[in-house]
Amino acid sequence: MSEVVLILFRIVFILIFALTFVPILVLLERKISAFIQDRPGPNRTNIGGIRLGGVVQSLADALKLMIKEDFTPSSIRSKVLFTIAPMILFLMSLMTIAVIPFSDYFTLDGVQYLMQAIPFDGGMLWYLGMASLSIYGIMLAGYSSNNKYSLLGSLRAASGAISYEIPLGLAVVSMMITYGSIHLNDFVHYQQGSIFGLPSWGIFIQPLAGVIFIVCAFAETNRAPFDLAEGESEIVAGYHLEYSAMSFAMFFMAEYIAMVAMSALIITLFFGGYALPYLSTADLLEHYQVILVAMACLTTLFGIGFVRWIGKNNVTRYKTNNDLRKRENKFYTIATFAVVAVVDLVCAFLYFNGLESFGKEVLVTLLYLGIFTLKTFVMLFVFIWVRWTIPRFRYDQIQRLGWEKLMPLAILNIIITAVVVIYGN
Protein backbone atom coordinates (compact mmCIF):
# COMPACT_ATOMS: atom_id res chain seq x y z
CA MET A 1 0.00 0.00 0.00
CA SER A 2 2.84 2.40 0.87
CA GLU A 3 4.48 1.70 -2.49
CA VAL A 4 1.25 2.54 -4.33
CA VAL A 5 0.96 5.81 -2.38
CA LEU A 6 4.56 6.68 -3.29
CA ILE A 7 3.93 6.00 -6.99
CA LEU A 8 0.77 8.13 -6.96
CA PHE A 9 2.62 10.90 -5.11
CA ARG A 10 5.35 11.05 -7.76
CA ILE A 11 2.84 11.28 -10.61
CA VAL A 12 0.49 13.72 -8.89
CA PHE A 13 3.33 15.98 -7.73
CA ILE A 14 4.84 16.42 -11.17
CA LEU A 15 1.40 17.05 -12.72
CA ILE A 16 0.52 19.65 -10.09
CA PHE A 17 4.02 21.13 -10.35
CA ALA A 18 3.76 21.63 -14.12
CA LEU A 19 0.12 22.71 -14.31
CA THR A 20 0.19 25.03 -11.28
CA PHE A 21 3.09 26.96 -12.74
CA VAL A 22 0.99 27.93 -15.80
CA PRO A 23 -1.28 30.52 -14.10
CA ILE A 24 1.65 31.64 -11.96
CA LEU A 25 3.76 32.21 -15.06
CA VAL A 26 0.95 34.13 -16.74
CA LEU A 27 0.91 36.49 -13.77
CA LEU A 28 4.71 36.66 -13.61
CA GLU A 29 4.92 37.42 -17.33
CA ARG A 30 2.69 40.44 -16.79
CA LYS A 31 4.19 41.56 -13.50
CA ILE A 32 7.82 41.28 -14.59
CA SER A 33 7.13 43.00 -17.90
CA ALA A 34 5.31 45.73 -15.98
CA PHE A 35 8.24 46.12 -13.60
CA ILE A 36 10.70 46.38 -16.51
CA GLN A 37 8.45 48.94 -18.23
CA ASP A 38 7.84 50.86 -14.97
CA ARG A 39 4.10 50.21 -14.61
CA PRO A 40 2.05 48.32 -11.98
CA GLY A 41 0.65 45.48 -14.11
CA PRO A 42 -2.73 43.81 -13.49
CA ASN A 43 -4.11 44.53 -10.02
CA ARG A 44 -7.72 45.64 -10.59
CA THR A 45 -9.63 42.49 -11.59
CA ASN A 46 -11.41 41.18 -8.50
CA ILE A 47 -14.07 38.83 -7.19
CA GLY A 48 -16.11 40.57 -4.53
CA GLY A 49 -13.22 42.96 -3.93
CA ILE A 50 -10.65 40.17 -3.58
CA ARG A 51 -7.74 40.70 -6.00
CA LEU A 52 -5.09 38.27 -4.73
CA GLY A 53 -2.39 40.65 -5.91
CA GLY A 54 -3.38 40.21 -9.55
CA VAL A 55 -3.94 36.43 -9.58
CA VAL A 56 -7.67 36.96 -10.28
CA GLN A 57 -6.68 38.36 -13.70
CA SER A 58 -5.23 34.95 -14.63
CA LEU A 59 -8.40 33.25 -13.40
CA ALA A 60 -10.49 35.61 -15.53
CA ASP A 61 -8.40 34.77 -18.60
CA ALA A 62 -8.80 31.04 -17.99
CA LEU A 63 -12.57 31.43 -17.58
CA LYS A 64 -12.77 33.49 -20.77
CA LEU A 65 -10.98 30.78 -22.79
CA MET A 66 -13.18 28.02 -21.32
CA ILE A 67 -16.51 29.66 -22.18
CA LYS A 68 -15.55 31.01 -25.62
CA GLU A 69 -16.75 29.22 -28.74
CA ASP A 70 -14.16 26.77 -30.05
CA PHE A 71 -14.52 27.81 -33.68
CA THR A 72 -13.15 25.59 -36.47
CA PRO A 73 -12.81 27.28 -39.89
CA SER A 74 -14.47 25.53 -42.81
CA SER A 75 -11.38 25.99 -44.99
CA ILE A 76 -9.05 23.72 -42.97
CA ARG A 77 -7.38 20.76 -44.70
CA SER A 78 -8.17 18.11 -42.07
CA LYS A 79 -10.40 18.45 -39.04
CA VAL A 80 -8.78 15.42 -37.38
CA LEU A 81 -5.26 16.82 -37.69
CA PHE A 82 -6.48 20.29 -36.74
CA THR A 83 -8.03 18.88 -33.56
CA ILE A 84 -5.21 16.62 -32.39
CA ALA A 85 -2.34 19.07 -33.11
CA PRO A 86 -2.65 21.04 -29.83
CA MET A 87 -3.18 17.76 -27.93
CA ILE A 88 0.10 16.36 -29.27
CA LEU A 89 2.04 19.48 -28.34
CA PHE A 90 0.47 19.64 -24.88
CA LEU A 91 1.06 15.94 -24.17
CA MET A 92 4.67 15.95 -25.36
CA SER A 93 5.43 19.05 -23.28
CA LEU A 94 3.96 17.34 -20.23
CA MET A 95 5.82 14.08 -20.87
CA THR A 96 9.23 15.76 -21.01
CA ILE A 97 9.12 16.75 -17.34
CA ALA A 98 8.08 13.26 -16.21
CA VAL A 99 11.68 11.95 -16.05
CA ILE A 100 13.28 14.87 -14.22
CA PRO A 101 14.11 13.88 -10.60
CA PHE A 102 12.68 16.27 -8.02
CA SER A 103 14.24 14.51 -5.00
CA ASP A 104 16.81 11.87 -4.15
CA TYR A 105 15.96 8.18 -3.81
CA PHE A 106 13.25 7.53 -1.22
CA THR A 107 14.00 4.45 0.88
CA LEU A 108 10.92 2.45 1.86
CA ASP A 109 11.24 -0.95 3.54
CA GLY A 110 14.85 -1.15 2.41
CA VAL A 111 13.97 -0.49 -1.26
CA GLN A 112 15.08 2.71 -3.03
CA TYR A 113 12.58 4.41 -5.33
CA LEU A 114 13.35 7.01 -7.97
CA MET A 115 11.55 10.29 -7.22
CA GLN A 116 10.38 11.07 -10.74
CA ALA A 117 6.99 10.49 -12.35
CA ILE A 118 8.34 7.89 -14.80
CA PRO A 119 11.15 5.82 -13.21
CA PHE A 120 13.22 5.51 -16.38
CA ASP A 121 17.01 5.28 -16.01
CA GLY A 122 17.79 6.84 -19.39
CA GLY A 123 16.06 10.08 -18.44
CA MET A 124 18.16 12.32 -20.69
CA LEU A 125 17.35 10.25 -23.78
CA TRP A 126 13.64 10.26 -22.89
CA TYR A 127 13.66 14.04 -22.57
CA LEU A 128 15.37 14.60 -25.91
CA GLY A 129 12.99 12.16 -27.62
CA MET A 130 9.80 13.68 -26.22
CA ALA A 131 10.98 17.23 -26.88
CA SER A 132 11.73 16.31 -30.50
CA LEU A 133 8.27 14.80 -30.99
CA SER A 134 6.57 18.02 -29.87
CA ILE A 135 7.41 19.65 -33.20
CA TYR A 136 4.83 17.35 -34.83
CA GLY A 137 2.04 19.24 -33.03
CA ILE A 138 3.27 22.54 -34.48
CA MET A 139 3.73 21.11 -37.98
CA LEU A 140 0.29 19.50 -38.03
CA ALA A 141 -1.30 22.74 -36.78
CA GLY A 142 0.32 24.79 -39.53
CA TYR A 143 -0.44 22.27 -42.29
CA SER A 144 -4.06 21.52 -41.31
CA SER A 145 -4.96 25.21 -40.87
CA ASN A 146 -4.64 25.79 -44.64
CA ASN A 147 -3.42 29.30 -43.92
CA LYS A 148 -0.20 30.74 -45.35
CA TYR A 149 0.74 32.46 -42.09
CA SER A 150 0.15 29.28 -40.10
CA LEU A 151 2.16 27.23 -42.58
CA LEU A 152 5.03 29.71 -42.53
CA GLY A 153 5.00 29.67 -38.73
CA SER A 154 5.16 25.87 -38.57
CA LEU A 155 7.96 25.75 -41.19
CA ARG A 156 9.96 28.31 -39.26
CA ALA A 157 9.39 26.36 -36.05
CA ALA A 158 10.65 23.17 -37.69
CA SER A 159 13.74 24.88 -39.08
CA GLY A 160 14.42 26.43 -35.69
CA ALA A 161 14.05 23.08 -33.95
CA ILE A 162 16.48 21.42 -36.36
CA SER A 163 18.95 24.30 -36.04
CA TYR A 164 19.04 24.30 -32.26
CA GLU A 165 18.32 20.70 -31.28
CA ILE A 166 21.68 19.65 -32.70
CA PRO A 167 23.88 22.02 -30.64
CA LEU A 168 21.60 21.39 -27.63
CA GLY A 169 22.12 17.65 -27.99
CA LEU A 170 25.87 18.13 -28.43
CA ALA A 171 25.99 20.20 -25.24
CA VAL A 172 24.20 17.35 -23.47
CA VAL A 173 26.76 14.87 -24.85
CA SER A 174 29.59 16.84 -23.24
CA MET A 175 27.71 16.74 -19.92
CA MET A 176 27.17 12.98 -20.25
CA ILE A 177 30.92 12.53 -20.79
CA THR A 178 31.61 14.69 -17.74
CA TYR A 179 29.14 12.94 -15.44
CA GLY A 180 29.76 9.48 -16.91
CA SER A 181 26.06 8.64 -17.05
CA ILE A 182 22.77 9.32 -18.86
CA HIS A 183 20.77 9.10 -15.62
CA LEU A 184 19.61 12.54 -14.49
CA ASN A 185 19.78 11.55 -10.82
CA ASP A 186 23.47 10.69 -11.28
CA PHE A 187 23.96 14.19 -12.68
CA VAL A 188 22.64 15.65 -9.43
CA HIS A 189 24.77 13.33 -7.24
CA TYR A 190 27.89 14.39 -9.13
CA GLN A 191 27.16 18.06 -8.42
CA GLN A 192 26.92 17.61 -4.64
CA GLY A 193 30.70 17.83 -4.28
CA SER A 194 33.06 20.77 -4.76
CA ILE A 195 35.81 21.84 -7.14
CA PHE A 196 38.38 24.52 -6.28
CA GLY A 197 36.16 25.63 -3.42
CA LEU A 198 33.13 26.11 -5.67
CA PRO A 199 30.12 23.76 -5.89
CA SER A 200 30.78 21.16 -8.57
CA TRP A 201 27.79 22.41 -10.54
CA GLY A 202 27.76 21.83 -14.27
CA ILE A 203 27.85 25.57 -14.97
CA PHE A 204 31.26 25.81 -13.26
CA ILE A 205 32.66 22.59 -14.75
CA GLN A 206 31.26 23.15 -18.26
CA PRO A 207 30.51 26.89 -18.64
CA LEU A 208 30.57 26.77 -22.44
CA ALA A 209 28.13 23.84 -22.54
CA GLY A 210 25.92 25.72 -20.07
CA VAL A 211 25.77 28.84 -22.23
CA ILE A 212 25.11 26.82 -25.41
CA PHE A 213 22.38 24.77 -23.72
CA ILE A 214 20.59 27.78 -22.21
CA VAL A 215 20.64 29.69 -25.52
CA CYS A 216 19.27 26.63 -27.32
CA ALA A 217 16.64 26.24 -24.58
CA PHE A 218 15.21 29.65 -25.47
CA ALA A 219 15.01 28.62 -29.12
CA GLU A 220 13.49 25.21 -28.36
CA THR A 221 10.71 26.74 -26.27
CA ASN A 222 9.97 29.41 -28.91
CA ARG A 223 10.67 32.19 -26.46
CA ALA A 224 11.86 35.63 -27.50
CA PRO A 225 14.31 36.57 -28.85
CA PHE A 226 13.91 33.23 -30.72
CA ASP A 227 10.12 33.19 -31.20
CA LEU A 228 10.40 32.94 -34.98
CA ALA A 229 7.45 30.50 -35.07
CA GLU A 230 4.99 33.14 -33.88
CA GLY A 231 6.53 36.49 -34.75
CA GLU A 232 3.38 38.61 -34.67
CA SER A 233 5.06 41.53 -36.47
CA GLU A 234 5.80 39.27 -39.45
CA ILE A 235 3.35 36.35 -39.61
CA VAL A 236 0.54 37.46 -37.24
CA ALA A 237 0.30 34.60 -34.71
CA GLY A 238 2.03 31.86 -36.67
CA TYR A 239 1.01 28.22 -36.44
CA HIS A 240 -1.91 28.76 -34.01
CA LEU A 241 -3.51 31.64 -35.92
CA GLU A 242 -6.71 29.71 -36.73
CA TYR A 243 -7.20 28.34 -33.21
CA SER A 244 -9.46 29.78 -30.54
CA ALA A 245 -10.82 29.07 -27.06
CA MET A 246 -9.47 25.89 -25.42
CA SER A 247 -7.60 24.77 -28.55
CA PHE A 248 -5.54 27.95 -28.37
CA ALA A 249 -5.29 27.54 -24.59
CA MET A 250 -3.64 24.13 -25.06
CA PHE A 251 -0.94 25.72 -27.26
CA PHE A 252 -0.61 28.48 -24.68
CA MET A 253 -0.25 26.03 -21.77
CA ALA A 254 2.10 23.78 -23.76
CA GLU A 255 4.53 26.67 -24.19
CA TYR A 256 4.60 27.40 -20.48
CA ILE A 257 4.84 23.72 -19.51
CA ALA A 258 7.76 23.40 -21.94
CA MET A 259 9.35 26.37 -20.17
CA VAL A 260 8.88 24.67 -16.80
CA ALA A 261 10.34 21.40 -18.11
CA MET A 262 13.31 23.12 -19.73
CA SER A 263 13.99 25.19 -16.59
CA ALA A 264 13.88 22.03 -14.47
CA LEU A 265 16.30 20.33 -16.88
CA ILE A 266 18.68 23.31 -16.86
CA ILE A 267 18.93 23.31 -13.08
CA THR A 268 19.37 19.52 -13.09
CA LEU A 269 22.23 19.69 -15.60
CA PHE A 270 24.01 22.84 -14.49
CA PHE A 271 22.82 24.08 -11.08
CA GLY A 272 22.78 21.03 -8.82
CA GLY A 273 19.14 20.03 -9.37
CA TYR A 274 17.20 19.47 -6.17
CA ALA A 275 20.35 19.29 -4.00
CA LEU A 276 22.07 21.86 -1.84
CA PRO A 277 25.72 22.63 -2.65
CA TYR A 278 28.36 20.76 -0.61
CA LEU A 279 25.71 18.63 1.16
CA SER A 280 24.74 15.05 0.38
CA THR A 281 21.52 13.32 1.37
CA ALA A 282 23.38 11.45 4.12
CA ASP A 283 24.57 14.77 5.60
CA LEU A 284 21.03 16.13 5.65
CA LEU A 285 19.63 12.98 7.27
CA GLU A 286 22.27 13.18 9.98
CA HIS A 287 21.70 16.87 10.74
CA TYR A 288 17.96 17.07 10.22
CA GLN A 289 17.55 19.48 13.16
CA VAL A 290 19.28 22.19 11.10
CA ILE A 291 16.68 21.66 8.36
CA LEU A 292 13.86 22.26 10.85
CA VAL A 293 15.44 25.51 12.06
CA ALA A 294 16.05 26.66 8.48
CA MET A 295 12.48 25.81 7.45
CA ALA A 296 11.06 27.82 10.34
CA CYS A 297 13.24 30.84 9.53
CA LEU A 298 12.60 30.74 5.78
CA THR A 299 8.84 30.32 6.28
CA THR A 300 8.81 33.41 8.49
CA LEU A 301 10.81 35.45 5.94
CA PHE A 302 8.57 34.26 3.11
CA GLY A 303 5.47 35.26 5.07
CA ILE A 304 6.83 38.75 5.66
CA GLY A 305 7.80 39.11 2.00
CA PHE A 306 4.40 37.86 0.81
CA VAL A 307 2.49 40.32 2.99
CA ARG A 308 4.67 43.19 1.77
CA TRP A 309 4.16 42.13 -1.87
CA ILE A 310 0.39 41.88 -1.50
CA GLY A 311 0.27 45.27 0.19
CA LYS A 312 2.31 46.85 -2.58
CA ASN A 313 0.15 45.35 -5.33
CA ASN A 314 -3.07 46.44 -3.64
CA VAL A 315 -1.98 50.04 -3.26
CA THR A 316 -4.16 52.57 -5.06
CA ARG A 317 -3.32 56.14 -5.96
CA TYR A 318 -6.94 57.29 -5.63
CA LYS A 319 -8.19 56.18 -2.22
CA THR A 320 -11.88 56.04 -1.52
CA ASN A 321 -13.83 55.48 1.67
CA ASN A 322 -15.24 52.12 0.58
CA ASP A 323 -12.01 50.74 -0.94
CA LEU A 324 -11.86 47.05 -0.01
CA ARG A 325 -8.11 46.72 -0.49
CA LYS A 326 -7.27 47.76 3.06
CA ARG A 327 -9.60 45.07 4.43
CA GLU A 328 -8.08 42.56 1.99
CA ASN A 329 -4.55 43.41 3.14
CA LYS A 330 -5.55 42.80 6.77
CA PHE A 331 -7.01 39.42 5.87
CA TYR A 332 -3.82 38.37 4.04
CA THR A 333 -1.68 39.52 6.94
CA ILE A 334 -3.67 37.52 9.50
CA ALA A 335 -3.97 34.40 7.32
CA THR A 336 -0.29 34.42 6.31
CA PHE A 337 1.09 34.79 9.81
CA ALA A 338 -1.35 32.16 11.08
CA VAL A 339 0.14 29.68 8.58
CA VAL A 340 3.67 30.79 9.50
CA ALA A 341 2.91 30.26 13.20
CA VAL A 342 1.60 26.74 12.56
CA VAL A 343 4.67 25.79 10.50
CA ASP A 344 7.02 27.20 13.14
CA LEU A 345 5.23 25.32 15.92
CA VAL A 346 5.40 22.05 13.98
CA CYS A 347 9.12 22.55 13.34
CA ALA A 348 9.70 23.30 17.03
CA PHE A 349 7.74 20.21 18.09
CA LEU A 350 9.70 17.94 15.74
CA TYR A 351 12.99 19.53 16.80
CA PHE A 352 12.49 18.80 20.51
CA ASN A 353 10.80 15.38 20.08
CA GLY A 354 13.04 13.91 17.38
CA LEU A 355 12.28 11.91 14.23
CA GLU A 356 12.57 8.27 13.24
CA SER A 357 14.28 7.20 10.00
CA PHE A 358 11.05 7.39 7.99
CA GLY A 359 10.34 10.89 9.31
CA LYS A 360 13.84 11.99 8.38
CA GLU A 361 13.35 10.66 4.84
CA VAL A 362 10.08 12.58 4.52
CA LEU A 363 11.67 15.78 5.89
CA VAL A 364 14.63 15.63 3.49
CA THR A 365 12.25 14.90 0.60
CA LEU A 366 10.17 17.97 1.48
CA LEU A 367 13.37 20.03 1.60
CA TYR A 368 14.39 18.76 -1.83
CA LEU A 369 10.93 19.56 -3.23
CA GLY A 370 11.26 23.12 -1.97
CA ILE A 371 14.78 23.55 -3.39
CA PHE A 372 13.74 22.08 -6.74
CA THR A 373 10.74 24.42 -6.94
CA LEU A 374 12.76 27.48 -5.94
CA LYS A 375 15.56 26.84 -8.45
CA THR A 376 13.03 26.21 -11.22
CA PHE A 377 11.25 29.43 -10.30
CA VAL A 378 14.50 31.41 -10.55
CA MET A 379 15.25 29.93 -13.97
CA LEU A 380 11.72 30.78 -15.15
CA PHE A 381 12.31 34.34 -13.99
CA VAL A 382 15.37 34.43 -16.28
CA PHE A 383 13.23 33.20 -19.20
CA ILE A 384 10.73 36.02 -18.65
CA TRP A 385 13.44 38.60 -17.97
CA VAL A 386 15.16 37.88 -21.28
CA ARG A 387 11.79 37.86 -23.08
CA TRP A 388 11.09 41.46 -22.07
CA THR A 389 14.65 42.75 -22.42
CA ILE A 390 16.09 41.57 -25.75
CA PRO A 391 14.28 42.33 -29.04
CA ARG A 392 13.42 39.56 -31.50
CA PHE A 393 16.20 38.41 -33.84
CA ARG A 394 15.74 38.21 -37.58
CA TYR A 395 15.22 34.76 -39.08
CA ASP A 396 18.63 34.77 -40.82
CA GLN A 397 20.36 35.89 -37.60
CA ILE A 398 18.78 33.02 -35.68
CA GLN A 399 19.88 30.45 -38.27
CA ARG A 400 23.39 31.89 -38.49
CA LEU A 401 23.79 31.78 -34.72
CA GLY A 402 22.71 28.14 -34.56
CA TRP A 403 24.71 26.73 -37.48
CA GLU A 404 27.79 28.98 -37.66
CA LYS A 405 28.39 29.78 -33.98
CA LEU A 406 26.81 27.30 -31.58
CA MET A 407 27.36 24.15 -33.64
CA PRO A 408 31.18 24.50 -33.99
CA LEU A 409 31.50 25.56 -30.36
CA ALA A 410 29.48 22.54 -29.19
CA ILE A 411 31.64 20.14 -31.25
CA LEU A 412 34.84 21.78 -29.97
CA ASN A 413 33.56 21.48 -26.41
CA ILE A 414 32.94 17.74 -26.84
CA ILE A 415 36.50 17.24 -28.11
CA ILE A 416 38.01 19.20 -25.21
CA THR A 417 35.81 17.38 -22.68
CA ALA A 418 36.75 13.96 -24.06
CA VAL A 419 40.46 14.79 -23.96
CA VAL A 420 40.28 16.11 -20.41
CA VAL A 421 38.27 13.12 -19.15
CA ILE A 422 40.51 10.52 -20.83
CA TYR A 423 43.86 12.04 -19.86
CA GLY A 424 42.59 13.41 -16.56
CA ASN A 425 41.72 9.88 -15.39
Contacts of 367 (CB under 8 A, 6+ apart): 284, 291, 295
Q: Per DSSP, what are the bridge partners of residue 369?
A: none
Phi, psi (degrees; rounded to nearest 5) at 402: -70, -45
pLDDT band, residue 52 (cuts 50/70/90) = confident
| Region 172-191 average pLDDT | 89
| Region 199-208 average pLDDT | 91
Phi, psi (degrees; rounded to nearest 5) at 246: -70, -25
In the DSSP assignment, the letter for residue 391 is P
Contact 54, 40 (CB under 8 A): no
Does residue 323 register a pLDDT over 70?
no
Contact 263, 102 (CB under 8 A): no
Does residue 26 register a pLDDT over 60?
yes
pLDDT band, residue 271 (cuts 50/70/90) = very high
Query: Residues 218-265: pLDDT tens digits?
Result: 888 888 788 777 766 666 777 888 888 888 888 888 888 888 999 999
Share of the chain above pLDDT 90, in %: 16
| Region 203-214 average pLDDT | 93
pLDDT of residue 209: 93
Does residue 24 register a pLDDT over 70?
yes
Q: Which of 188-192, 310-314, 336-340 has the lowest mean pLDDT?
A: 310-314
Query: Residues 341-371: pLDDT tens digits?
Result: 998 898 888 888 878 888 888 888 888 988 9
pLDDT band, residue 1 (cuts 50/70/90) = very low
The whole-chain average pLDDT of the chain stands at 83
Distance (Å, whole) CA 46 – CA 51: 4
Distance (Å, whole) CA 317 – CA 44: 12
pLDDT band, residue 314 (cuts 50/70/90) = low
* H helix count then E strand count, the chain: 17, 4
Burial 209-228 (b: 16+ CB within 10 A, else e): bbbbbbbbbbbbbbbbbbbb
Distance (Å, whole) CA 81 – CA 144: 6
Contacts of 302 (CB under 8 A, 6+ apart): 340
pTM: 0.89
| Region 259-273 average pLDDT | 92
| Region 166-185 average pLDDT | 90
Q: What is the bridge-based pairing of β-strands 198-199 and 194-195?
A: antiparallel
pLDDT band, residue 173 (cuts 50/70/90) = very high
Phi, psi (degrees; rounded to nearest 5) at 107: -90, 120
Distance (Å, whole) CA 408 – CA 167: 8
Measured distance between the N- and C-terminal CA atoms of the chain, rounded to whole angstroms? 46
pLDDT of residue 265: 92
pLDDT of residue 280: 83
pLDDT band, residue 324 (cuts 50/70/90) = low
The CB-side HSE value for 380 (13 A sphere, CA atoms) comes to 24
| Region 408-416 average pLDDT | 93
